[in-house]
A and B are shown apart, each in its own frame.
Chain A
Amino acid sequence: MTEALHYDAVVIGAGTAGLTAGARLAQAGAKVCVLAKGVGSTHLAPGTIDVLGYAPERVEAPARALPELISEHPDHPYVLLGPETVAEALAWFERTAAAGTLPGYSYSGSLERNQLLPTALGAVRASALVPETMAAGDQPGLGRVAILGTPALRDFHESLCADNLRAAGVQARGISVPLELERADMNALGIARHLDDPEWRATFCAQVSPLLRDEEHLGVPAMLGMRDPHAVLMDLQHRLGRWVFEIPTLPPSVPGMRLYEILRSALRAAGGRLVLGAEVVSHRRDGERVSEVVTRAAGRDLSYAAPWFVLASGGFASDAIELDSHWITHDRVLGLPLRGAPGPGDTRFVRNYLEDQPIARAGIAVDAELRADGAENVLVAGASLPGAVPWREGSGEGIALASGLRAAQVIAGRVREEAVVG
């Protein structure tokens, strides 16, 4: 017993990239298992699909800015992926969201024009594909707007948001309602669960409605329901008689959790397995190939064998890439060689935390097909890839979706070839 469990492909990581790769492989008929140490970074992200927001100036149209980025930054993951794969990945995701377990909840947008959404600080985020719950916040269409806060949600400051929006030329003002909740403070997820309940929603609307002025859009923290956000949005717009939109909050992110749910259910619907709590602690090799990865399960280690692996375990923030006390960077998951890490004597960090930190570009070295150097059957996707600074570029989901999709395509193509030859 305790022999390896065999799969056609094993994916490491349950973020956007890993779940996309897993779902696509399962849809292509492969026997897939997604292994993850914990839930991925979706729960922390705003739930939008950002392809290219800043390069470094704000990008109007990713479709036009992408070729430029590709020609100027030869090490960027988009060079390997190309605009076509990005477009294909977005189309796949739109279909997947529409067919998912959140009834009627859809994404819209295109690479032709970034939507400009307000952040909780009243700044602007440029995003290619946004959930319907955020669409009415797109700034070119934004006239007068009320930003709603509540004392229970201590991390969302409606006046701060409104003041900064006003400084950017939007006629915004902050309003606040005390909500009937069972605890003094509550995060956006707690309120979202309440808003899923039609009765609670009705009371909520009755409280908010008198505060609103004519022809005013309503911006709310991203909390418009977890189970049925489409119904919550429609109901609020109907009852309040105006456009309503969500503004992403500090974690936990409700729209990010919906994104996870869309991808998770796509994986499961196609028959893929998902194992959480399964940290990859070691692996076995057969020359240039990884033959098995070993996870720590309760009581004993489990081996998962497959002809193909997708590594989508994330970067520094996910504890998958580390900088040790000797100033050496490592891939903590499979020990694969990295690329993009500053060498000895080079600048690793710059003073301003939010600046372009050179160390942040480190990732697993790959070839044009996303295959890891030194492991020909390991494809790399998402934040594990080198060369990008997603939080500055606004490119995280675009890279994750496109590389997840591409990894699945490469594997499916090889499996087909082998089947023909075999």
Chain B
Amino acid sequence: MTDLVDIAERERLRGSLDHCVKCTICETQCPVSTVSPLFPGPKYAGPQAERYRVPDEPSVESSVDYCSGCGICSMVCPQGVKIAEINAQARDKLKRQEGIPLRDRIITRPTWLGRLGTPVAPLANFTLRFRPARILAEKALGVHRDAPVPRFAGRRFSRWAREHPSPRTGRKIVYFHNCGTEYYEPWEGEKVVAVLEHNGFEVVVPKQDCCGLPLQSSGLFDDARRVVLRLARALAEHVTDDETLIVGNATSCTLMLKREAREILVLDRDPVLKLVSERTYDICELLLELHDRGELATDFRPVHETVAYHAPCQQQGHWIGKPALELLALVPGLEVKEMNARCCGIAGTYGLKAEKYDIAMAAGRDLFGQVEASGATGVACDSETCRWQITHGTQRPSVHPIDYLYRAYGLG
């Protein structure tokens, strides 16, 4: 019986390919096939190739490994075909067949890396920027020598949070801070907490680990399932009533909790994950909802700057529009330029891989050019890996949109 339900779950995604009318709208938006002949595009690799993928038979082609998993194809499909999700599952099957490289087992585990690097941050940061070490890493592991890697902050956000008393206002928010905040940008988390508290929330920070997205996007589905379910349980423990919400600032990780783990990893029937999925908000989504209801604090001071805003692919995958754009527009004096490019190219860990780095940089070129032409001094973007890539590609500082609200509230 369980097997049948499992099959039905899987076929729900696969079945959507019958709705494909070959209109090519997905092809027009794919950031990878536009710049590389190694990926034939979402329509070919998805609905078309899927017809040749037979259960219990080997994968017949390997180009789907070059899909970056950005998910834009599914979003723009007017017929509701789950292109990216089908391709992610095909990638998992391919990886099982071909074996997972050591590199993918390492770079998909931000928690291990963070725990290793944090205590020895100066040395780790030096090594990650030491050319001979990077060349060695490229040759030995296949991590591109020029790929943007973050700096270890040398301190952990959770340590700060443990010592930070959040005012007991009774309006509880569970904060999912993700690995980027924990090990690399703890200040982003501190700003999120400050902005939430400024709006009257009591912020609870549970002990938490990775969401499993890097594992999933490299095709390590079993590991990804274990990791995301563990996170869901850690967060759900604090969802004690009907009102409690979970808020995150890493938009790809919140998307993993909301939708990708349920769909791509076929975990839709896990009740804890379902609860967490329904309660999870992207920070900008939450704040804009508050504003739409007249509940957002609007004591903004002017910020006289021009900022370029790029909505990451994974943010757009929330299917909620671009709330950060509307929030930034509330800040007096701030001139916001909406970037109209497809993707920055990085797609989490995709652009770190030696064989994919050039593709990622080529995919981002359009965005980098727009940022440079915008006259903006800084870039706002909801995903940390995208920010690192944009800074790498434009030499301009990039921050989470919440930074601008934090400054406009005068909290800094």
A297 and B278 contact, CB distance less than 8 A? no
A33-B321, A190-B34, A298-B258 are known contacts. Are A252 and B75 too (CB-CB below 8 A)? no
- The answer, among B243, B245, B289, B319, for a CB contact under 8 Å with A277, is B319
B245 and A1 contact, CB distance less than 8 A? yes
Q: Mark B58-90, 1 if CB is under 8 A from A, else 0.
A: 000000000000000011111110000000000
Near B by CB (< 8 A), chain A positions 362-406 give: none
Chain A contact patch, size range: 35 or more
**Which chain B residues lie closer than 8 Å to A189 at the CB level?**
27-28
B19 and A319 contact, CB distance less than 8 A? yes
- The answer, among A43, A101, A276, A298, for a CB contact under 8 Å with B255, is A298
- The answer, among A38, A182, A187, A268, for a CB contact under 8 Å with B80, is A38
B321 and A274 contact, CB distance less than 8 A? yes
B326 and A273 contact, CB distance less than 8 A? yes
Q: Does A257 count as interface, using CB distance less than 8 angstroms?
A: yes
Identify the closest chain A residue to B326 (Cβ).
A273
- The answer, among A6, A43, A193, A274, for a CB contact under 8 Å with B25, is A43
A38 and B289 contact, CB distance less than 8 A? no
Q: Mark A17-41, 1 if CB is under 8 A from B, else 0.
A: 0000000000000000100111111
Q: How far is the CB of A41 from chain B (nearest CB, A)?
A: 7
Q: Does A113 count as interface, using CB distance less than 8 angstroms?
A: no
A268 and B338 contact, CB distance less than 8 A? yes
A251-B24, A252-B24, A275-B320 are known contacts. Are A3 and B78 too (CB-CB below 8 A)? no
A296 and B78 contact, CB distance less than 8 A? no
Q: Does A326 count as interface, using CB distance less than 8 angstroms?
A: no
Near B by CB (< 8 A), chain A positions 73-122 give: 101
Apart from A182-B36, A276-B319, what are 13 other A-B pairs with CB-CB below 8 Å?
Answer: A6-B292, A38-B76, A38-B80, A44-B24, A44-B25, A193-B34, A257-B28, A275-B321, A277-B316, A297-B319, A299-B259, A299-B277, A318-B78
Q: How far is the CB of A411 from chain B (nearest CB, A)?
A: 20
Q: How far is the CB of A320 from chain B (nearest CB, A)?
A: 10
Q: How far is the CB of B292 from chain A (nearest CB, A)?
A: 6
B25 and A37 contact, CB distance less than 8 A? no
Q: Does B186 count as interface, using CB distance less than 8 angstroms?
A: no
**Which chain B residues lie closer than 8 Å to A299 at the CB level?**
257-259, 277-278, 280, 318
Q: Does B23 count as interface, using CB distance less than 8 angstroms?
A: yes
A187 and B27 contact, CB distance less than 8 A? yes
**Which chain B residues lie closer than 8 Å to A252 at the CB level?**
24-25, 27-28
Subset of 5 A-B contacts with CB under 8 Å: A43-B24, A251-B24, A297-B318, A299-B258, A317-B21
Smallest CB-CB A-B distances: 10 pairs? A299-B258, A277-B319, A38-B78, A183-B37, A298-B259, A275-B321, A298-B258, A277-B75, A299-B277, A39-B76
B259 and A38 contact, CB distance less than 8 A? no
Q: How far is the CB of B245 from chain A (nearest CB, A)?
A: 6
Q: How far is the CB of A110 from chain B (nearest CB, A)?
A: 31
Q: How far is the CB of B77 from chain A (nearest CB, A)?
A: 5
Q: Does A5 count as interface, using CB distance less than 8 angstroms?
A: yes
B79 and A276 contact, CB distance less than 8 A? no
Q: Mark A180-210, 1 if CB is under 8 A from B, else 0.
A: 0011100101100100000000000000000
Near A by CB (< 8 A), chain B positions 304-328 give: 316-322, 326
Q: Does A306 count as interface, using CB distance less than 8 angstroms?
A: no
User: Which residues does A use to contact B, with CB under 8 Å?
Assistant: 1, 3, 5-6, 33, 36-41, 43-44, 101, 182-184, 187, 189-190, 193, 251-252, 257, 261, 265, 268, 273-279, 295-300, 302, 317-319
Chain B contact patch, size range: 35 or more
Q: How far is the CB of A45 from chain B (nearest CB, A)?
A: 11
B78 and A37 contact, CB distance less than 8 A? yes
Complexed CA–CA distance, A38 and B21 (Å): 13
Best-buried of A1, A3, A40, A278 by chain B (most CB within 10 Å): A1
A319 and B80 contact, CB distance less than 8 A? yes
A1-B245, A300-B277, A300-B278 are known contacts. Are A39 and B338 too (CB-CB below 8 A)? no
A33-B321, A298-B318 are known contacts. Are A43 and B28 too (CB-CB below 8 A)? yes
A187-B27, A277-B316, A319-B19 are known contacts. Are A1 and B243 too (CB-CB below 8 A)? yes
Near A by CB (< 8 A), chain B positions 269-301 give: 277-278, 280, 289, 292-293
Complexed CA–CA distance, A207 and B75 (Å): 39
B80 and A279 contact, CB distance less than 8 A? yes
Complexed CA–CA distance, A40 and B76 (Å): 9
Identify the closest chain A residue to B35 (Cβ).
A182
**Which chain B residues lie closer than 8 Å to A275 at the CB level?**
319-321
Q: Does B48 count as interface, using CB distance less than 8 angstroms?
A: no
Q: Does B127 count as interface, using CB distance less than 8 angstroms?
A: no
Complexed CA–CA distance, A133 and B277 (Å): 48
Q: Does B377 count as interface, using CB distance less than 8 angstroms?
A: no
B317 and A277 contact, CB distance less than 8 A? yes
B319 and A278 contact, CB distance less than 8 A? yes
Q: How far is the CB of B375 from chain A (nearest CB, A)?
A: 16
Q: How far is the CB of A153 from chain B (nearest CB, A)?
A: 13
A187 and B24 contact, CB distance less than 8 A? yes
Q: Mark B11-50, 1 if CB is under 8 A from A, else 0.
A: 0000000010101110111000010110000000000000
Q: How far is the CB of B10 from chain A (nearest CB, A)?
A: 19
- The answer, among B289, B317, B318, B321, for a CB contact under 8 Å with A1, is B289
Q: How far is the CB of B144 from chain A (nearest CB, A)?
A: 20
- The answer, among A36, A273, A276, for a CB contact under 8 Å with B316, is A276
